[in-house]
Structure 1
């Protein structure tokens, strides 16, 4: 792996989420910030829009902007007037406290940008493999080699083929994935590793297909949990939580937003392997990772948020 333009990408990624407190409005659906070098970053509240939508808009704007040169025109504007705001000591103290909390959080937040040039979509097509699935296996194997254990891993699956469909979760830490990881760590024969790799690859593809076709479980369970919370508010007789939501195994497996690896394939690179728009969200856990990547013809670009 290489760190091509690492500092540049990491700086932009960091600014997108943890830049300066004064230009981030947490009560807005979307913030757009234009940097001095002309790059634009957006920060949004994720519940009402999927990241891939914003990325598609960004790519489309970039393509359209290359087709013409904007010619500025002279315009006359009124002289701006400064507005004076009266602020109480309570407000000023609240501002200071909020900014201090923001700075403390920002200091613990790290972003890495890594380019892997070992292969891309071209090679994967030649060997009849889907690059995204290979990336998922690689991420699980990297976690295993780093921490000595397997990670509950979340990958986003799109359900946009359905009316109002958005996403579903692919739980990629399968029995087949574990068997392959153990074979690698125990230095089993190449034949055994290849056989187990194919089994892990096919199991992941099946889960992805099921999730994209509305057969996943996480959004269904989330809906049941929220419905239960709503019913309990108006119930005179308390309704006990279903056992699945209070079982420790549910949390360990990633339930309630506890996946150690939060990942997403955020699209293919451009015709000339230009990265284009990209995005990410934070890790779900303080000891976890967010790993988001774009796939090019001959390389993959990974944006990682390591554990604190």
Structure 2
């Protein structure tokens, strides 16, 4: 109980001789250091806000402009105030309070600052205009046109130096709204290989009627929204695709990321957790200070939107009756840890600093050594986050809005992130590769359905044998953002942090470190019944998921590139061929592309089943010549790449159709065309997150550090729920 005594800053007792005041100097010292740390973070955020707000300018640029302006006006013998104080003097007695020289200095500073702000405004808008041009995407691989070269020089000229994570946010263009005519044309083009002549003619009639009558009216509202908001899609996408879902988010929404396949840095669970937690918190510190470099395309010239990083930490999804909300706090100094049915609150700061890996390992060892049993209702409590949302919302209001339950729930929801010290062992087994990876993936995706807090922005899962992984909630950000964090952790863990020879984290134990705090619960029988019901729903869903991961090492993207083919197009075409061989037909196929070339952009759909791809697949099924097949493969690949470019540059169709449908529901207008389009089932979902988004480790020199990436639940399971949600949300 030493930590409990240290938590009390002072005590007093009333005696016959008066009040006996006892101060705990260690507690007061920790309060002082905590406050100092908090003020440092506020100052850094304030400074970063200024730096980001004036980008592509800088405070140094202000000094240069002021010195240059004052010097030039003095040399030219001009009034640096440009007559400002002379005009003011006609109405205000300025000369009584300020000498003429002082007026010149103050006026010159004001005019110079205005000139500096004008320069920033011009540079930012010119940069935004330049970034709205996407012709560079159509250059041949390895070649660059003169127009693109000139454009790159201009982008570099109008971009500032040493950008921080959010520096380009105000310079990114807004996502454009495609024309209804273009969307109708591209939709019919995507639907043609999936319909016979009669179906296609009927759908073409519906599309033309929509284009002529209802479409332009709905489009007007979307245009208005695009002028008023930063992104006309993202807020509706977050709300209606994610937060308004009333079914389980486990499997249906959350996704996972895996550890190294062939590298096992340590067999000690607590040590692996120590390094990983320290690396994640170190990443959070860099994020708070905006020291993470923004991501770029095309030789570090074209910036991507960084908005999704803002809610990575200290974030939880809170259930509601009709819609969930995302709760984000600006600062959190602890993490929540689950082990063997118990919940713990672990502070990761002490003495005003982040705990070192060995000190975090020390805390994890204390939790692992704790032999206490779960309280009544505690063991399966997290199943509430795995089941349907309305029972969880009701239970949260009824049983977790007061007393110790509220305090413990706050400790979880306001934690930096959630950690599970899993009591099972998972690992890639070279002698049994498929079954071992299947078990590993299913454990990360849903576990036992009560040992992950699925509402948290992400869960770090560390298994008994030292293997680890992530489970991430989807509403706050897409997988590449979590992938960026995860690659940082995987690179920092064995390289920069490392382990001692005995497998423990490097460093020494802390002699005075307060231990983890066991969270306390008071779960009544009625709440336990709701927990059991949610657990049954979650288990039925988890048992319905078949997961198979098949390692493939015959060749990779390097060989595909040597054949002058896009690796992404190659995989998409191969999937179409495999599906046709298995089912004997083509299907609507979903591939996600990013729209982060635009402010607050998230994703767009690439409909990768095209007429060109179907022609190639049929050629492969017939006895065609090799030359004919190669010709059709090239055409299919070029078509797919063009669709991907269109999706990335705001000319996709699915987000536009989704928003048009929402406007129609708000207006109470029924559209047979939109209703049918959004009811079409996606039979193949082929989203992926590439490895090595950031060059933190070299897979060519260290191929053993490869990971199998991550995965998500089948999209077909979500399709019926999605349509029910869209019909229900405006009725």
Q: TM-score, normalised by structure 2?
A: 0.35
The 10-residue stretch of structure 1 (193-202 or 65-74) with the greater mean CA deviation from structure 2: 65-74
Please say if residues 132 and 265 of structure 1, whose CA atoms lie closer than 8 Å, have aligned partners that are also in contact.
no
Q: Whole-Å Cα distance in 2 between the matches of residues 265 and 159 of structure 1?
A: 15
* Aligned pairs (5 A) from 1:32-43: 32-43=460-471
Q: Whole-Å Cα distance in 2 between the matches of residues 115 and 80 of structure 1?
A: 40
Q: Which residue of 2 aligns with 1:60?
A: 488
The 10-residue stretch of structure 1 (158-167 or 274-283) with the greater mean CA deviation from structure 2: 274-283
Q: Whole-Å Cα distance in 1 between the matches of residues 598 and 467 of structure 2?
A: 34
Q: Whole-Å Cα distance in 1 between the matches of residues 516 and 602 of structure 2?
A: 43
Please say if residues 50 and 166 of structure 1, whose CA atoms lie closer than 8 Å, have aligned partners that are also in contact.
yes
One of 270, 274, 278 as aligned partner of 2:709: 278
2:690 pairs with 1:267 = yes
Q: Whole-Å Cα distance in 1 between the matches of residues 565 and 431 of structure 2?
A: 26
Q: Whole-Å Cα distance in 1 between the matches of residues 599 and 519 of structure 2?
A: 46
CA shift, 1:181, in A, is: 1.2
Q: Whole-Å Cα distance in 2 between the matches of residues 209 and 79 of structure 1?
A: 53
Matched residue of 2:682: which SS? coil
* Aligned pairs (5 A) from 1:100-115: 100-115=536-551
CA shift, 1:200, in A, is: 1.0
**Structure with the larger helix share:** 2
Please say if residues 59 and 277 of structure 1, whose CA atoms lie closer than 8 Å, have aligned partners that are also in contact.
no
Please say if residues 59 and 276 of structure 1, whose CA atoms lie closer than 8 Å, have aligned partners that are also in contact.
no
2:479 pairs with 1:51 = yes
Matched residue of 1:156: which SS? strand
CA shift, 1:44, in A, is: 2.2
* Aligned pairs (5 A) from 1:1-308: 5-65=433-493, 66-69=495-498, 70-77=506-513, 85-229=521-665, 231-232=666-667, 239-247=668-676, 250-252=678-680, 258-268=681-691, 270-271=699-700, 272-273=702-703, 274-276=705-707, 278-286=709-717
Root mean square deviation of aligned Cα: 2.6
Q: Which residue of 2 aligns with 1:235?
A: none
Matched residue of 1:280: which SS? strand
Could you say if the C-alpha distance between residues 49 and 81 of structure 1 is closer, same or farther in structure 2, counting changes exceeding 3 Å?
Answer: closer
Please say if residues 691 and 709 of structure 2, whose CA atoms lie closer than 8 Å, have aligned partners that are also in contact.
no
CA shift, 1:153, in A, is: 0.9
Q: TM-score, normalised by structure 1?
A: 0.80
Could you say if the C-alpha distance between residues 117 and 76 of structure 1 is closer, same or farther in structure 2, counting changes exceeding 3 Å?
Answer: same
Q: Whole-Å Cα distance in 2 between the matches of residues 250 and 79 of structure 1?
A: 53
Q: Whole-Å Cα distance in 2 between the matches of residues 61 and 94 of structure 1?
A: 37
Could you say if the C-alpha distance between residues 244 and 45 of structure 1 is closer, same or farther in structure 2, counting changes exceeding 3 Å?
Answer: farther
Q: Whole-Å Cα distance in 1 between the matches of residues 469 and 534 of structure 2?
A: 23
Please say if residues 58 and 277 of structure 1, whose CA atoms lie closer than 8 Å, have aligned partners that are also in contact.
no
Cα deviation code 1:88-111 (max 9, x no counterpart): 322121111221222222112121
CA shift, 1:164, in A, is: 1.3
Could you say if the C-alpha distance between residues 93 and 143 of structure 1 is closer, same or farther in structure 2, counting changes exceeding 3 Å?
Answer: same
Aligned residues: 274
Could you say if the C-alpha distance between residues 67 and 47 of structure 1 is closer, same or farther in structure 2, counting changes exceeding 3 Å?
Answer: same
* Structure 1, gaps ≥5 residues long: 233-238, 253-257, 289-308
Please say if residues 457 and 472 of structure 2, whose CA atoms lie closer than 8 Å, have aligned partners that are also in contact.
yes
CA shift, 1:137, in A, is: 0.6
Cα deviation code 1:112-137 (max 9, x no counterpart): 11122332122122221111110111
Q: Greater Rg, structure 1 or structure 2?
A: 2
